Amino acid sequence: MKEKNEIDAEKIFQLKLFEKRINELQQQIQVIEEKINEIEYLKNGLDEIENSNDKEILSQIGPGIFVKTKLIENKKVFVDIGSKNICEKSIEEAKEFLTRQIKKIRDVREELVEEIEKIIKNLQEGKF
C-alpha cells in the first residue's frame, strides 16, 4: 500500500510540475502578444508620421512623459537595429524591419504553443 501512495505522490508532483510549466509558457505567450501589439501600434504610428509633415506632435521622452514637438522630417526615422546600433531608414524600411521582428516573435510564440500542446498530449496519453 505504501508503494502505491508513493507512486501517486510522484504522479501528483509530476502533474504539478507540468501545470507550472504550462502556466509559465502561457505567461510567456502573453508577453509575446503584448510585444506584437506594441510593434503593430508602432507601425501605425509610422503611417501617421509619413502623412504628417511640419505638424506638431506629442513625443514620448519617458514612461508617461510627453512633449510637444514639431515634425520636420517625415521620410526618415532612426531605428535601433540591436546592441544600441542606430541606423537611418525610410519609413517603409522601418515598417519592413518591424514586420520581420513580428514574424520572429510569432515564430517563438508558435514554438511555445507547440510545447504546451505536447505537454497536454503527453498528459492525456498518461506519459508522465
Query: Is 36 among the domain residues?
Result: yes
Query: Is 128 among the domain residues?
Result: no
pLDDT value of residue 68: 92
Q: Any idea what the CATH number is for the domain that residue 90 is in?
A: 1.10.287.370
Query: Can you read off the three cell numbers belonging to residue 7?
Result: 507512486
Count of residues making up the chain: 128
73, with CB counted inside 10 A (0-12, 13-18, 19+), is exposed
pLDDT value of residue 43: 95
Quote the pTM value.
0.79
User: pLDDT truncated to tens, each residue of the chain (128 aa)?
Assistant: 557 777 788 889 999 999 999 999 999 999 999 999 999 999 999 988 888 777 888 888 999 999 998 888 888 999 998 898 999 999 999 999 999 999 999 999 999 999 999 999 999 888 76
Per-residue HEC secondary structure of the chain comes to CHHHHHHHHHHHHHHHHHHHHHHHHHHHHHHHHHHHHHHHHHHHHHHHHHCCCCCEEEEEEECCEEEEEECCCCCEEEEECCCCCEEEEEHHHHHHHHHHHHHHHHHHHHHHHHHHHHHHHHHHCCCC
Query: Is 127 among the domain residues?
Result: no
Describe the crossing of helices 91-124 and 2-50 by its angle, rounded to 10 degrees: 160
108 lies in which domain range?
2-121
Q: How many domains does the chain have?
A: 1
Query: Is 41 among the domain residues?
Result: yes
Query: Is 10 among the domain residues?
Result: yes
DSSP-based three-state secondary structure for 79: strand
